[in-house]
Structure 1
Amino acid sequence: MTRTIARGFAFPEGPRWHEGRLWFADQHGGTVYVLDPDGHVYEHFAVPGGPSGMGWLPDGALLVVSMDERRLYRRGSDGQLVMYAELAAIHSGQSNDMVVDHRGWAYAGNVGFDYYSGEAPWPTCIAAVAPDGAVAVAADHLHCPNGSVITPDCRTFIVAETFASRLTAFDIDEEGRLFNRRIFADLGGYAPDGICLDAEGCVWVAVALANSVIRVREGGEILTQIPIEAARPYACMLGGMDGRDLFICCASDHDPAVTVKVRSGRIDVARVNVGSSGGWP
């Protein structure tokens, strides 16, 4: 059901389909890669502190998260990275996934605690970065806010709470604020990581510990489950020429000490029946 189009990465995450190419963050390798639809590397560049979530501003510039530095960088047409926003004041753990809307509002989550040192988890927040670069807390008391999407009408924000085993939704007001928190889908024992939204309003969810990617309807019904062979999926993104290629970021492990040595990270693709939503990312 899936095929591998590229391999040899440390830990691929945060995939985005943009202008006919797949962008993703090799987090532990410190590099953003850009692939053509067949999996050939078109471009790559380093991000200090390790890259994570990505999104594009209205002027076409890329925003990319630096995990360890807990900040956003802006990359313009000259290819240079310039510091755009500091997140450390409100991100208590590594910054991670992010979504950027059509107005230039960026919403970035964070792990919230030192996962690799064995620190106990605690709730944390999503940072909202306004188009003028101002940073504020968009929502708090979230359990590792991870992958996130915004619906095509720009009215609903959905985020994966990894350590709460659920997808949580918010309304978005005209000022970019999140309100009316509610459960979009209770995933039971599944711990969601990266997500993407399809044209029917269902969410594809990468579930690493279940070695599968699932398609979930609002309310929690699982409609489809795609198993991943010999690896764990950490993120997914709809793209391709018709929006029906589900790109899946996979690796055999998530520990940086392991991933940079074995470089088992790969990009798999599955053909699905419903295409991308046209929202964000």
Structure 2
Amino acid sequence: MTPHAHTPLVRIEQVSKIGKNLERPESVHFFSDGSLAASHRGRGVSRILPNGDVTTIGPDPAIANSHELVPNGIAPLADGSFLLSNIGEGGGIWHLSPEGTLSPHLMEADGIALAAANFIMTDAQDRTWITVSTIRQPRFDAYSDKVADGLIVLMDQSGARILADDICFSNECRLTPDGTGLVISETFSRRITHFDLVGGELKNRRTLAQFGRGDFPDGIRFDSQGHLWVTCIVSNRIWRIAPDGSRTLVLEDCDAALVDRVETALAEGQMGREHFYDTGTSRLCNMASIDFSSDESTAYVGSLCGDAILTFPISTVLGDHQ
């Protein structure tokens, strides 16, 4: 069955928005008090209260290594600060204090500059996981299924080291629910790759899910049932991947003409930034990350092109498709 033959479990009419005046809210996080945090281009992080009120923290403008800060992934810390992965030309991992002070945190690993830092997360063992989409500058030169120089970096008490250096445009990564593996979006090869995590090293690389036309996996997150949710830019689809790799289409608002333009550009080696900041007729703003409310009744979705966080109910999805 082709992706186009699937019927989404969530209707586009069920999607609403929360917050306003956000700028490239690519990464979204839900907090137990019902508030959200999202990356904010040129500043740092926006906090969105349940009533939709927004407070943005960070310098105005935020400059990182003489270039505009473009926070992609954000990782909240216990003290109210954030770590930011800067996919802008200044690169690197940056620390944003609760008061809005920006400072460099990690600029290289194993002598390699973290040029296009894409994603960052911390885990229960106080480790920090970082992905770097490409070591090429500008990063748009790696918008190809023929380039695989993305990094996976682990930072722990021993320092920062590169665990993988051959990922096809590294995007979000997540530890598996049992902690024995790591999955990562390889955006331009259109797949989710699974590694075993053995003694702090990545082993036994294999494909968990391979996507087709129009689907470029970006943000990923596991739900409490061990299924992986995948947001796809360009196609504006969200898939839910079971542990055995089978998939369910959750949401879709796909512009076929946009997919044609992007696929043609990819085939001709002409992919550029403009292809990811063109939403065509889709109302979903190039969905790029996802998180869930504490009770998993609601999903929250960040995007490349939106000015708010998308939200929709999912309790029926989990209830009917376990």
Does 2:286 align with 1:242? no
> What's the secondary structure of 1:104's corresponding residue?
coil
Question: Normalized against structure 1, the TM-score is what?
Answer: 0.80
Long gaps (5+) in structure 2: 1-13, 254-281
Shift of 1:159: 0.7
| Residue matched to 2:124 | 102
Does 2:51 align with 1:26? no
Which of 150, 175, 178 is the matching residue for 1:153? 178
> What's the secondary structure of 2:126's corresponding residue?
coil
Question: Normalized against structure 2, the TM-score is what?
Answer: 0.71
Query: Is the helix fraction higher in 1 or 2?
Result: 2
Q: Larger deviation: 220-229 or 188-197? A: 220-229
Which of 183, 187, 192 is the matching residue for 1:162? 187
Does 2:224 align with 1:210? no
Which amino acid is the alignment partner of residue 104 of structure 1?
A: D
Which of 186, 189, 211 is the matching residue for 2:210? 186
Superposed, which structure 2 residues align to 1:1-281 within 5 Å?
1-20=14-33, 21-27=35-41, 29-46=42-59, 47=62, 48=64, 49-56=69-76, 61-68=81-88, 69-76=90-97, 79-87=100-108, 89-91=111-113, 93-112=115-134, 113=136, 114-116=138-140, 122-132=147-157, 134-174=159-199, 176-189=200-213, 190-228=215-253, 229-252=282-305, 264-273=306-315
Decide whether the 8 Å contact of 1:66 with 1:72 is kept in 2.
yes
> What's the secondary structure of 2:106's corresponding residue?
strand
Shift of 1:119: 7.0
Taking a change above 3 Å as real, the CA distance of residues 60 and 134 of structure 1, as seen in their structure-2 partners, is: farther
> What's the secondary structure of 2:188's corresponding residue?
helix
> What's the secondary structure of 1:163's corresponding residue?
helix
Long gaps (5+) in structure 1: 253-263, 276-281
Which amino acid is the alignment partner of residue 210 of structure 2?
A: D
**% identity of equivalent residues:** 21
Decide whether the 8 Å contact of 2:169 with 2:187 is kept in 1.
yes
Shift of 1:170: 1.4
Root-mean-square deviation (CA, aligned residues, Å) is 2.8
Which amino acid is the alignment partner of residue 128 of structure 2?
A: A
> What's the secondary structure of 2:94's corresponding residue?
strand
Aligned equivalents of 2:20, 2:76: Cα separation in 1? 26
Shift of 1:92: 6.8
Decide whether the 8 Å contact of 1:72 with 1:85 is kept in 2.
yes
Shift of 1:71: 1.6
CA deviation map 1:127-158 (0-9, x unaligned): 42423472211112110010111233322211
Query: Is the strand fraction higher in 1 or 2?
Result: 1
Decide whether the 8 Å contact of 2:177 with 2:222 is kept in 1.
no
Aligned equivalents of 2:21, 2:81: Cα separation in 1? 28
Decide whether the 8 Å contact of 1:53 with 1:96 is kept in 2.
yes
Decide whether the 8 Å contact of 1:31 with 1:45 is kept in 2.
yes
Bigger radius of gyration: 2
